[in-house]
Structure 1
Amino acid sequence: MPAPRSDRKALWLGLLTASLILLTAVFMTLAAQMRPVAMHDLNLAEGEKLKCVSYAPYHRPGQTPLDPASRIPRDQIAADLEALAKITACVRLYSVSQGLGEVPELARPLGLKVLLGAWIGYDQTRNAAELAHALEIANAYTDVVRALIVGNEVLLRRERSEDEMRTLIRQARAQARVPVTYADVWEFWTRHDSLAAEVDFVTVHILPFWEDEPVDIVDALAHVVDIRSRIGEHFPGKPVVIGETGWPSAGRQREESRPSRVNQARYIREFVHQAHARGWDYNLIEAIDQPWKRRLEGTVGGHWGLLEADSLAPKFPLAGAVAERESAFGPIGGALLGGLLAFLLATTGRRTRCLRVSALSATGALGGVVTVLHWEHAHLAYRDALEWSVLGAVAALCAVLPLVLARWHGEPLPDAARAARLLRRPQGWRSKAALLSLLRALLLFAAAIAALLLWVDPRYRDFPTLLYLTPAVVFGVISWWNLPPGRSERVCAILIAFAVSARWLSEPANPQAIGWLLCGLAFALPPLLLRPQQHQQR
């Protein structure tokens, strides 16, 4: 039986209101992102450069240090160093394998100095070969190599003990013709402070974003100043170098620490200004974005670079205001295209009404702008063919949802089981009600998996709010009127509601966690609060 006209009017009014509210919020956010933010101008003295930046050459598609057989071409390293010589006086390496052993030779004519790194891990045979190779290079290029760094965060990763590191460092100092040090996060230096007697200087990592209690960008520099002072007091008379510090430009927010282009620019500018004023020796992480790190650290891991991975263009200027986004042309175009397609589909076919067309056009516009924004995020976050296939399929379902909805006239929707039976019949695909019901079941299942994964393994996973925003709005509204939940939908809804709430409770002040909570509850609550008989009564 067709739904009463009063119910349909409320349905279209609810859909129109929700879509317009979300569209307003999205475009207000875009406007805020395009607003230039004033910050400290880093006016370096004539000829002055950054003291040092971490350099890894694995920024082209498919390049990764995780493949032992890979080797970076010499001409690529030479081009990278030529670009870096314009902004820094030194590069830090973490290994001398896979072609990186050629860096000192290529750095010499550019006037670059090198902090040479020997990678130390679980494999003792490989460690011995790596250290021997690093010593050979360091001793051959004493005019280029500032120091030899024996191991990077080895104690943090628990791959070697303090006594084993002491033995390796002593071995290196006995043979090296350059200063020798070891690099680790500042807490592990204070826990293993006896190692300071074995090195020529202490190399500490201070990363406000990765602290156990993440630091807001507003307080980040004060935090670094405090830690640097404490380390200096802890190791009196021993030179201290900040071996890693920086801020990511994209990725998952950690409590108060938000990755963004503006925050990265602010941190780098303010830190470098303070470091030069205070006479600190430092190394920024890192020179170029490293897409391969997304596999280890999520989206945020691949976006610590000062330069873009593909073009080697600077992410931000060293002076002047910085905006998070340069243009909103793509999202605006997506909204216009989505709204137009939904309008055309809604006005063809049988007779329709203005309120319905307005609601469906607004929903199409919301779906279009969200699709473009998620496409932008996918290029930052998706790591391999599997993610592009699976998450891309979910994104495609979300993108097509407003178009299927635009052909729907408000008739009652079956539950998922009945919808599947209807679609198996000849010409069953013509039933937009059945298609919508099946789409909700599929997207509820996908959202339940995403919510559970984010709950149990949150550190390196992004909040998938953009991916599920459109279905949350669509089904969050129409489920109140004529989309009775089946058993499977209710199970998925329970999982979503529990997982998004648990995730939010662990970081209640995180805006990204709040957004995911609201999105998940909008999607999940109607199937939980309404039972089939309530739909029938409506």
Structure 2
Amino acid sequence: MTSGHISSSAFWRKHFFLHFIAFLLLTFWVAAQTRPVALPDLHLAEGERLDCVSYAPYHLPGQTPLNPAMRIPKEQIAADLAALAPITHCVRIYAVDQGLEYVPELAQKLGLKVLLGAWIGRDPVANRSQLETAIRLTNLYPDAVRAVIVGNEVLLRQEQPEAAMRAMLDEVRGRVSVPVTYADVWEFWLRHPTLAEGVDFLTIHILPYWEDEPVAVDHALEHVAQVRQRMQEHYKKPVLIGETGWPSAGRQREGARPGLVEQALYVRSFIREAHDKGWDYNVIEAIDQPWKRQLEGTVGGYWGILDQDLQPKFPLAGPVRARTSVQPYLLAALAGSMLCLGLACLPGRARSWRLLTHIAAGAWTGGVMWLAWEHGQVAYRNAWEWAVLGMIALAGIGLVLGIAGRRNQNMLPGFIEAMQQRQNRWLPALRMAVLFAAATAALLLLADPRYRDFPIWLYAIPSLSLLTLNRLSRTGREEKLCAGIIALGGIARWAMEPMNPQAQAWLALCLLLAAACLASTSKASTTAGADGS
């Protein structure tokens, strides 16, 4: 074997084990998600229901309150409330337009109470309309409206000063006969203590997942109890926990991990505690709200106890599974193996260890692509995201298929070199596209991480594919620059949340992507050894 050649058999043997072990570990992880997890049961007595749940009707495709012209049909709201009536005594609404003005009338027919909200923002004309409508509906349906909530997190958003909120509260209290309150994150009540003088009771939001220092689900109930007690003792007024809940999907924040099992655990435990201790509360929220992903990323859309089709996402008693079946994942892995095997078996391709490598790489690729598709279903918000992120995913698949279909083991040039030579361009171009996209993602996760998912499944495939190519390719300055950004970005992101498993996985992918380029040869070797047998 000459110095410019690579031992092909050893090369493919090494990368077979790399992909095989990766696929094996991933399969164990997916299978573990199908195991039922025992959780504390919530057994409600006959006639016992949830105290209250946040209700917004924007759960069907295309529905969003961000569109000023949006109006939800009365029939849809009636169907939603009919689905909620068996599980809750009350619904909380946040505004009285876009069809929500129907809620008091429809709720009264179903025997539901309403925490009726007037949405307060920056626009004085819109604010006046909200206040007048809320007052009119409250006086028209006094048996249905339990209280009026003037404004939701207005001080948090800095859209009105405290004095303006106090004036609105005083006005509404003078014009209705039901209690009046204001709702905000609990810390903002502490920052504006005199506002409590203008309400009949405090409405506080306690969301362990969204705390500045996120609270893991195992400690979330303790945190809620401590905050509630602190507010009760500080203000000597009744306290309504106006929002509390847990998301079933999205980005992990330090120890606070979204998930169906975690959501079921929190909701069951909180409701039992609240009923046992006589807390007034409102769970956020009744129905998943996909439109909220525009504001809060993936996690914003999945706080509902019902899904978009008004079906319960988890039972109140018995074990809960994060995943119902491993079969789709395995079928995708099988399809990936068959595709790569077919390409590798074309005339002139290698056999033996190389074939085994492509079977393993195909299984890994198919399985990861299924997980990426699942993630896209809950995370991607529009056609633009599907197009851009879909192209990145296709570039990763292209690397796998390109490796499987190579006729020889000639050294691949760097991107700019390949463009200048006008040959052997596809694999260098795909590699450069993936590296540029990953470098961009690493920078975005540093600059704007709060609502941004870790794109683990998007880059899991190319991370191993580029390792396969690193001994068979040269890298130019452009690849090494991207690799450096990826490595430093991954390290910096992990350093902000070192105990977050998603941040750890992202760090591992970043280091793999970077190592695949930084370890590549820069020599002008043009050939490697023949395909192994």
Shorter-chain TM band: over 0.9
Displacement after TM superposition at 1:14 (Å): 2.5
What is aligned with 1:532? Answer: 522
For the residue of structure 2 that corresponds to 1:363, the secondary structure is helix
Q: CA RMSD in A?
A: 1.7
Displacement after TM superposition at 1:171 (Å): 0.5
Displacement after TM superposition at 1:536 (Å): 7.5
C-alpha contact 1:214 1:255 (8 A) present in aligned 2: yes
After superposition, the C-alpha distances for 1:61-97 in whole angstroms (9 at most, x for unaligned) are 1111111111111111111111111211110000001
What is aligned with 1:126? Answer: 126
What is aligned with 2:334? Answer: 336
Task: Give the Cα–Cα distance (whole angstroms) in 2 for the partners of residues 402 and 253 of structure 1.
Answer: 29
What is aligned with 1:378? Answer: 376
Displacement after TM superposition at 1:410 (Å): 2.9
What is aligned with 2:248? Answer: 249
For the residue of structure 2 that corresponds to 1:48, the secondary structure is coil
What is aligned with 1:467? Answer: 458
C-alpha contact 1:335 1:365 (8 A) present in aligned 2: yes
What is aligned with 2:367? Answer: 369
Structure 2 counterpart of 1:523, one-letter code: L
Task: Give the Cα–Cα distance (whole angstroms) in 2 for the partners of residues 63 and 280 of structure 1.
Answer: 33
Question: Identity rate of aligned residues, in percent?
Answer: 53
Displacement after TM superposition at 1:517 (Å): 0.6
What is aligned with 1:452? Answer: 443
Task: Give the Cα–Cα distance (whole angstroms) in 1 for the partners of residues 86 and 467 of structure 2.
Answer: 53
What is aligned with 1:297? Answer: 296
What is aligned with 1:276? Answer: 275
What is aligned with 2:25? Answer: 25
Structure 1 counterpart of 2:359, one-letter code: S
C-alpha contact 2:411 2:527 (8 A) present in aligned 1: no
C-alpha contact 1:11 1:478 (8 A) present in aligned 2: no
Displacement after TM superposition at 1:457 (Å): 0.5
For the residue of structure 2 that corresponds to 1:532, the secondary structure is coil
What is aligned with 1:520? Answer: 510
Task: Give the Cα–Cα distance (whole angstroms) in 1 for the partners of residues 275 and 411 of structure 2.
Answer: 68
For the residue of structure 1 that corresponds to 2:225, the secondary structure is helix
C-alpha contact 1:476 1:524 (8 A) present in aligned 2: no
C-alpha contact 2:51 2:90 (8 A) present in aligned 1: yes
Displacement after TM superposition at 1:347 (Å): 1.2
C-alpha contact 2:202 2:240 (8 A) present in aligned 1: yes
What is aligned with 2:433? Answer: 442
Task: Give the Cα–Cα distance (whole angstroms) in 1 for the partners of residues 239 and 219 of structure 2.
Answer: 22
What is aligned with 2:531? Answer: none
How many corresponding residue pairs? 527
Displacement after TM superposition at 1:534 (Å): 8.9
After superposition, the C-alpha distances for 1:179-237 in whole angstroms (9 at most, x for unaligned) are 1000011111111121111111111001000011000111111111111111111112x
Per mean C-alpha deviation after superposition, the further-off stretch among 265-274 and 77-86 is 77-86
Per mean C-alpha deviation after superposition, the further-off stretch among 408-417 and 29-38 is 408-417
Task: Give the Cα–Cα distance (whole angstroms) in 1 for the partners of residues 466 and 521 of structure 2.
Answer: 15
What is aligned with 1:217? Answer: 217
Change (3 A) 1:31 1:534: farther
Displacement after TM superposition at 1:486 (Å): 1.1
C-alpha contact 1:482 1:535 (8 A) present in aligned 2: no
Structure 1 counterpart of 2:488, one-letter code: F
What is aligned with 1:65? Answer: 65
Displacement after TM superposition at 1:400 (Å): 3.2
What is aligned with 2:468? Answer: 477
Residue ranges of structure 1 left out of the alignment (5+ in a row): none
Displacement after TM superposition at 1:537 (Å): 11
Task: Give the Cα–Cα distance (whole angstroms) in 2 for the partners of residues 220 and 364 of structure 1.
Answer: 41
Task: Give the Cα–Cα distance (whole angstroms) in 2 for the partners of residues 80 and 90 of structure 1.
Answer: 13
Displacement after TM superposition at 1:531 (Å): 4.5
Change (3 A) 1:355 1:5: farther
C-alpha contact 2:456 2:509 (8 A) present in aligned 1: yes
Displacement after TM superposition at 1:344 (Å): 1.3
What is aligned with 1:261? Answer: 260
Displacement after TM superposition at 1:525 (Å): 2.0
Displacement after TM superposition at 1:341 (Å): 1.0
For the residue of structure 2 that corresponds to 1:252, the secondary structure is coil
Task: Give the Cα–Cα distance (whole angstroms) in 2 for the partners of residues 358 and 263 of structure 1.
Answer: 39
Task: Give the Cα–Cα distance (whole angstroms) in 2 for the partners of residues 105 and 181 of structure 1.
Answer: 21
For the residue of structure 1 that corresponds to 2:307, the secondary structure is coil
After superposition, the C-alpha distances for 1:391-427 in whole angstroms (9 at most, x for unaligned) are 11111222333222211243321211233355x5xxx
Task: Give the Cα–Cα distance (whole angstroms) in 1 for the partners of residues 304 and 477 of structure 2.
Answer: 48
Task: Give the Cα–Cα distance (whole angstroms) in 2 for the partners of residues 61 and 392 of structure 1.
Answer: 21
Per mean C-alpha deviation after superposition, the further-off stretch among 352-361 and 140-149 is 352-361
For the residue of structure 1 that corresponds to 2:150, the secondary structure is strand
Could you tell me the TM-score, scaled by structure 1's length?
0.95
C-alpha contact 2:57 2:80 (8 A) present in aligned 1: yes
For the residue of structure 2 that corresponds to 1:259, the secondary structure is coil
Displacement after TM superposition at 1:323 (Å): 0.7
For the residue of structure 2 that corresponds to 1:148, the secondary structure is strand
Task: Give the Cα–Cα distance (whole angstroms) in 1 for the partners of residues 402 and 310 of structure 2.
Answer: 42
For the residue of structure 1 that corresponds to 2:454, the secondary structure is coil
C-alpha contact 2:411 2:525 (8 A) present in aligned 1: no
Structure 2 counterpart of 1:344, one-letter code: G
Change (3 A) 1:6 1:404: closer
Displacement after TM superposition at 1:478 (Å): 2.3
Structure 2 counterpart of 1:32, one-letter code: A
What is aligned with 2:86? Answer: 86
C-alpha contact 1:295 1:383 (8 A) present in aligned 2: yes
Structure 2 counterpart of 1:96, one-letter code: V
Displacement after TM superposition at 1:29 (Å): 1.0
C-alpha contact 1:3 1:411 (8 A) present in aligned 2: no
What is aligned with 2:172? Answer: 172
Residue ranges of structure 2 left out of the alignment (5+ in a row): 529-533
C-alpha contact 2:463 2:512 (8 A) present in aligned 1: yes
Structure 2 counterpart of 1:386, one-letter code: W
Task: Give the Cα–Cα distance (whole angstroms) in 2 for the partners of residues 2 and 157 of structure 1.
Answer: 68
C-alpha contact 1:113 1:146 (8 A) present in aligned 2: yes
What is aligned with 2:313? Answer: 315
